[in-house]
Every structure is written in C-alpha cells, then in structure tokens.
C-alpha cells in the first residue's frame, strides 16, 4: 500500500498538500476509492480511502487509525552544516531513517555554510520517512549561533565530539540508555578551543567517536546509529 504524508488531519477526513496530491494522482496514479496509507510524522498511521481528487487537493476518508510505540532514539543532534548541500541532504535522510528526534544546525567559527535551505531539508526528511517506514519525523531547526544553542539546550546528558587532545572516552562508554541526549558535531575543521571550553562550561562531556577522523555528515549518521543500537 502506497504511503503519503499529511498534517491536515481531522476526525474523519485527511487533506493532502498540493505536492502530495500531485504525487498521489500523477506519479502513483491513484483514483477515487483507492486505499492508501497516510502518516503524520507523530507515530500515527491512517488507512484511508480517496473520496475527492484533483491535481491540487486530495481528500481521504479515514477508515482505520493505528498508533505506533514512541521512538527509542531520544536524540537531539546538533551539527554544523557542511559546505556541500548534498552532504547535508544525505545526513538528514539517513538520520530520519534511523529515527533521531530532533536536528539543529550550528553556526560555528569554522562553519563555511552560513545559510541552509530548511524547506528542501524538510522535504527530504518527509520523503525518507515515507520510503523507509519510519513513523516519527524529526523536528528540524534552522541555523543558529553556537553560543546561543550551547547555553540554552536542555537534556539529561550532553556530549560534544571533537578532535582536540582531551580527556575523552568513546561515546558508547558514557552514554546512558533510555535518557534524552544531545550530541554536538562540529564543522569541517572541527571546533575551536574556545567553543570546546564553552561547551564544557555548560556541562557538555567531551567524547570520542573512534580513531578515524569522520566527515561531519558521517559523524552525524554514526552517532545516530550508535544511540539507536545502544537503546535496543
């Protein structure tokens, strides 16, 4: 059964956006009375029947509603965007498939990209959600200054992964399962010493991700996968 995404969900009916309506009717060639699956990114699945359809709007009747269990990966990933947009897209796609709860982009001293296309990134995340069967869409936040986020972020456990010589242990040795977490990944070229010191002052624990130096986007996917595995 084909899957579509919507946040316009009432008690009995669902409305698809223009883009999703086009995908439903033109790409997937659905028609009135066809049954499809609708997901809302909050763990809900709606088995629905198309009752009204045109290229700008598809309306569906809710036949059955199911609720999935809450995600086990209670991770907020803070990451500096890469210079390459394609690498950002890839990271968001994979993090969505794995199931992170939230992604925020950091503007660090060495961050080369000063602006991100949040609409594009959100579309990629929704597409990944539909394709992989993931039911929870991560909250994605726009680019913000490193200092403002580091001073304001809340979680039961907070980590910063960096490459400087430090008293660090591997993330897997200090991560506590079942608790909310924030993990900070720096830009190409890593954090500056002042950024690392600021994170420590705000109770971030320095961690290692292993002996190899990972690309920023690879590190983001690595920690997302690791947290998922540890929680299983």
Query: For the chain, what percent of residues have pLDDT higher than 90?
Result: 88
Over range 5-15, report the average pLDDT: 95
Interior angle at CA 106, CA 202 and CA 195, nearest 5: 40
How many alpha carbons lie under 13 Å from residue 94 in its C-beta half-sphere? Answer: 17
Which DSSP category does 214 fall into?
-
pLDDT for 127: 94
Please give the residue that has the higher pLDDT: either 166 or 188.
188
CATH tag, 3-67: 2.40.240.20
Please give the residue that has the higher pLDDT: either 71 or 65.
65
pLDDT for 167: 82
Average pLDDT over the chain reads: 94
The residues spanned by each domain of the chain are 3-67, 75-231
pLDDT for 82: 94
pLDDT of 69 strictly over 90: no
58 contacts 24 by C-beta, under 8 angstroms: yes
pLDDT for 117: 94
Over range 101-118, report the average pLDDT: 95
Over range 172-198, report the average pLDDT: 94
Alpha helices in the chain (DSSP H): 18-22, 85-98, 118-132, 146-152, 171-174, 193-201, 216-231
Give pLDDT tens digits for 76-90: 999 999 999 999 999
Note the maximum CA span of the chain: 63
At 178, the pLDDT band (50, 70, 90 cuts) reads confident
Closest Cα partner for 191 from 103, 107, 114, 110?
110
Give pLDDT tens digits for 29-50: 999 999 999 999 999 999 999 9
The CATH homologous superfamily for domain 75-231 is: SPOUT methyltransferase, trefoil knot domain (3.40.1280.10)
Q: Exposed e or buried b for every residue in 213-225, given b needs 16+ CB within 10 A? A: ebebbbbbbbbbb
Q: Please tell me the pTM assigned to this model.
A: 0.91
Give the span between the Cα atoms of 47 and 204, in whole angstroms.
Answer: 43
pLDDT of 68 strictly over 90: no
Q: Exposed e or buried b for every residue in 130-153, given b needs 16+ CB within 10 A? A: beeebbbbbebbebeebbebbeeb
At 166, the pLDDT band (50, 70, 90 cuts) reads confident
How many alpha carbons lie under 13 Å from residue 120 in its C-beta half-sphere? Answer: 9
Closest Cα partner for 1 from 30, 23, 21, 25?
30
Residue 85: Cβ-neighbour burial (10 angstroms; 0-12, 13-18, 19+): middle
Query: For the chain, what percent of residues have pLDDT higher than 70?
Result: 100
How many alpha carbons lie under 13 Å from residue 147 in its C-beta half-sphere? Answer: 3
Give the span between the Cα atoms of 43 and 53, in whole angstroms.
Answer: 25
At 55, the pLDDT band (50, 70, 90 cuts) reads confident
Which DSSP category does 58 fall into?
E
């Amino acid at each position: 059964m084909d899957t579509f995404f919507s946040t316009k969900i009432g008690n009995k009916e669902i409305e698809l956006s223009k883009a999703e309506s086009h995908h439903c009717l033109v790409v997937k060639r659905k028609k009135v009375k066809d049954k499809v699956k609708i997901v809302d990114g909050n763990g809900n699945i709606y088995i629905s029947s198309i009752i009204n359809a045109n290229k700008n709007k598809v309306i569906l009747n809710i036949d059955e509603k199911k609720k999935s269990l809450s995600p086990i990966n209670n991770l907020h990933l803070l990451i500096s965007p890469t210079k390459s947009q394609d690498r950002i897209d890839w990271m968001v796609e994979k993090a969505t498939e794995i199931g992170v709860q939230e992604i925020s982009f950091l503007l660090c001293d060495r961050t080369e990209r000063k602006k991100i296309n949040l609409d594009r990134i959100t579309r990629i995340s929704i597409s990944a959600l539909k394709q992989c069967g993931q039911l929870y869409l991560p909250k994605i936040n726009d680019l913000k200054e490193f200092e403002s986020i580091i001073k304001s972020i809340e979680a039961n456990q907070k980590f910063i992964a960096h490459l400087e010589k430090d008293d660090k242990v591997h993330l897997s040795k200090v991560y506590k399962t079942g608790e909310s977490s924030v993990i900070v990944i720096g830009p190409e070229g890593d954090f500056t010493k002042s950024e690392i010191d600021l994170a420590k002052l705000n109770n971030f624990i320095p961690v290692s991700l292993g002996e190899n130096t990972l690309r920023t986007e690879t590190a983001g996917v690595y920690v997302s996968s690791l947290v998922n595995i540890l929680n299983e």
